[in-house]
Amino acid sequence: MTFMQAYYTSCEIGHRGSKGFQFNAVTPGLDPRLFDQLERLGVYVPPSSSVVQPSPEDLERFPLVLLYQPLGGGRSVVAQSRYIGPDYSGRWGNYFTHYAIADDTERALRDQLPIELWKSPAWTTTESKQLELPRLDEFPLAGVIDAEAIRGFVRERPEHVAEIVEATRLALKTGRRVVIVDEDESIAKWIAAATYALPRHLALATSFTTYTKSPYESNAMIIGTTRDSDFRATQFEIDHQYSVFDFIQGRFSRIDASSRFARGVATSWVQSADRVANFAAFASLVDADVDAASVDQTWFGYALTDGRIEDAVAPADISWLTGRVERFSADQLTSVLSSVIGGAPNHELVEPLFQLYDRGRRTAVAKTIERQMTSWLAQLAVGEAERYGARIAALAPHSDSVRQGAASYAPQWLEAIASCSSAACYAALLQSGEALDFVFVDPRRAGAAAERWITDNAVQGHILRLARKPGGAELVNAVIEMLRAIPRASLPLESIANFLRDDEVRKATRLVAVEHEDVDFYTRVQTVLEREPFAAFNTAIMAARNLDGSVKPPRIDEISLIVWRGMTPPARDVLRICEQYPSLLPATQLLRRLPALLFDAKTPPEDAEQLAEVLSRTENRKPLDRAFYPVAVFKVRRALLRNNPDEPFKALDAGIRLLAERDVDANATAWLADAVSAHLLSLADARAHAKYLPQAIKAHHDLLDNYSRRALERLRTSSAPAATAAKLFQIWAQSGESGEWLLNTVLTGELRTWRRKRLDEVGYEVARAGKAAEEAWALWRPALAEKPSLLGRLFGRGRRDPRGGAR
Partner 1 sequence: MAKLLCPYCFERFGSEQMQFRCVNPTGGCPLVPDVELGRFLSTSPQNLPRTFTPPRGFWPGVPRSATCSCQYETRLKVCPRCHNDWPTGLDSTENLIIAVIGAKEVGKSHYIAVLINALTNDFGVRFRASLNAVDDRTRNRYAAEFRKWLFEDRMTIPITRATRAYPLIYRLVFEEGSFYKTLRVVTLVFFDTAGENFTTTDTLNAYNRYMASASGILFLLDPLQIPAVQSRLTTGQRFPTERTNPIDVVSRTDEVIRNVQALPLHKKIRIPVALTFSKLDAVRELFPRGSVAHRDCVHPGYLDLSDQEQMNATMRSYVTQWVGSGLEQLVSQRFAEYAYFGISALGSAPEVSGSIAGGVAPFRIEDPFLWLLYRLRVIDGKRRTV
Choose which of 240, 468, 469, 807 interacts with partner 1 (CB under 8 A). Answer: 240
Q: What is the DSSP string of 417-429?
A: HHT--SHHHHHHH
Between CA 15 and CA 101, with CA 91 as vertex, the angle to 5 degrees is 35
Min CB(14)–partner 1 separation in Å:
10
Q: Pick out residues in 657-716 that bind partner 1 (CB under 8 A).
A: none
Min CB(73)–partner 1 separation in Å:
15
* Smaller CB separation from partner 1, 81 or 509: 81
Q: Does 127 bind partner 1 (CB under 8 A)?
A: no
Min CB(241)–partner 1 separation in Å:
6
* Smaller CB separation from partner 1, 45 or 248: 45
Q: How many residues belong to the site for partner 1 (CB under 8 A)?
A: 42
Choose which of 88, 252, 581, 599 interacts with partner 1 (CB under 8 A). Answer: 88
Min CB(175)–partner 1 separation in Å:
5
Q: What span, in angstroms and rounded, lies between the C-alpha atoms of 68 and 207?
A: 5
- Residue partners of 342: CB distance under 8 A and separation at least 6: none
| DSSP 8-state symbol, 314 | -
Choose which of 5, 10, 253, 738 interacts with partner 1 (CB under 8 A). Answer: 10
HEC string for 287-312:
CCCCCHHHHHHHHHHHHHHCCCCCCC
- Residue partners of 453: CB distance under 8 A and separation at least 6: 420, 422, 423, 426, 427, 459
Q: What is the DSSP string of 492-503?
A: -GGGGHHHHHSH
Choose which of 60, 104, 239, 503 interacts with partner 1 (CB under 8 A). Answer: 239
Q: Does 58 bind partner 1 (CB under 8 A)?
A: no
Q: Does 230 bind partner 1 (CB under 8 A)?
A: yes
Task: Look at residues 369, 258, 257, 373 and name the one whose alpha carbon lies nearest to residue 311.
Answer: 258
* Smaller CB separation from partner 1, 12 or 548: 12
Q: Does 13 bind partner 1 (CB under 8 A)?
A: no
- Residue partners of 269: CB distance under 8 A and separation at least 6: 150, 151, 154, 155, 158, 161, 193, 197, 276
Residue 720's region, left for phi above 0, alpha for psi from -120 to 50, else beta, is beta
Q: What span, in angstroms and rounded, lies between the C-alpha atoms of 205 and 194?
A: 12
HEC string for 174-221:
HCCCEEEECCHHHHHHHHHHHHHCCCHHHHCCCCEECCCCCHHHCCCC
In the chain the first and final C-alpha atoms are separated, in Å, by 145
Q: How many CA atoms lie within 13 A of 687 on its CB side?
A: 3
Q: Does 217 bind partner 1 (CB under 8 A)?
A: yes
Q: Does 94 bind partner 1 (CB under 8 A)?
A: yes
312: buried, middle or exposed (CB in 10 Å: 19+, 13-18, 0-12)? Answer: exposed
Tell me the window of 11-19, 248-256, 484-492, 596-604 that interacts with partner 1 (CB under 8 A): 11-19
* Smaller CB separation from partner 1, 39 or 530: 39
Q: Does 404 bind partner 1 (CB under 8 A)?
A: no
* Smaller CB separation from partner 1, 23 or 777: 23
Between CA 238 and CA 245, with CA 242 as vertex, the angle to 5 degrees is 65
Tell me the window of 170-178, 285-293, 463-471, 628-636 that interacts with partner 1 (CB under 8 A): 170-178
Min CB(41)–partner 1 separation in Å:
9
Q: Does 37 bind partner 1 (CB under 8 A)?
A: yes
Q: What span, in angstroms and rounded, lies between the C-alpha atoms of 669 and 690?
A: 25
* Smaller CB separation from partner 1, 22 or 267: 22
Q: What span, in angstroms and rounded, lies between the C-alpha atoms of 750 and 274?
A: 126
Q: Does 219 bind partner 1 (CB under 8 A)?
A: yes
Min CB(101)–partner 1 separation in Å:
17
Min CB(28)–partner 1 separation in Å:
21
- Give me the sheet containing 65-72, strands edge to edge: 20-26, 3-11, 94-102, 75-85, 65-72, 208-209, 222-225, 178-181, 243-246, 251-252
Q: Does 545 bind partner 1 (CB under 8 A)?
A: no
Choose which of 28, 86, 342, 721 interacts with partner 1 (CB under 8 A). Answer: 86
Q: What span, in angstroms and rounded, lies between the C-alpha atoms of 116 and 118?
A: 5
Choose which of 3, 5, 6, 21 interacts with partner 1 (CB under 8 A). Answer: 21
Tell me the window of 10-18, 120-128, 156-164, 394-402 that interacts with partner 1 (CB under 8 A): 10-18
Tell me the window of 231-239, 366-374, 681-689, 722-730 that interacts with partner 1 (CB under 8 A): 231-239
Q: How many CA atoms lie within 13 A of 12 on its CB side?
A: 6
Choose which of 33, 52, 56, 687 interacts with partner 1 (CB under 8 A). Answer: 52
Q: Does 125 bind partner 1 (CB under 8 A)?
A: no
Round the CA-based radius of gyration of the chain to a whole number and report it.
55
Q: Does 53 bind partner 1 (CB under 8 A)?
A: yes
Choose which of 22, 297, 460, 618 interacts with partner 1 (CB under 8 A). Answer: 22
Q: Does 55 bind partner 1 (CB under 8 A)?
A: no
Tell me the window of 43-51, 123-131, 679-687, 759-767 that interacts with partner 1 (CB under 8 A): 43-51
Q: Pick out residues in 173-192 that bind partner 1 (CB under 8 A).
A: 174-177
Q: What is the DSSP string of 93-140?
A: -EEEEEEEEESSHHHHHTT--GGGGTT-TT---S--SSSB---B----
* Smaller CB separation from partner 1, 19 or 545: 19
Binding region for partner 1 (CB under 8 A): 10, 12, 16-22, 36-37, 39-40, 43, 45, 48, 52-53, 86-94, 174-177, 216-219, 230, 232, 235-236, 239-241
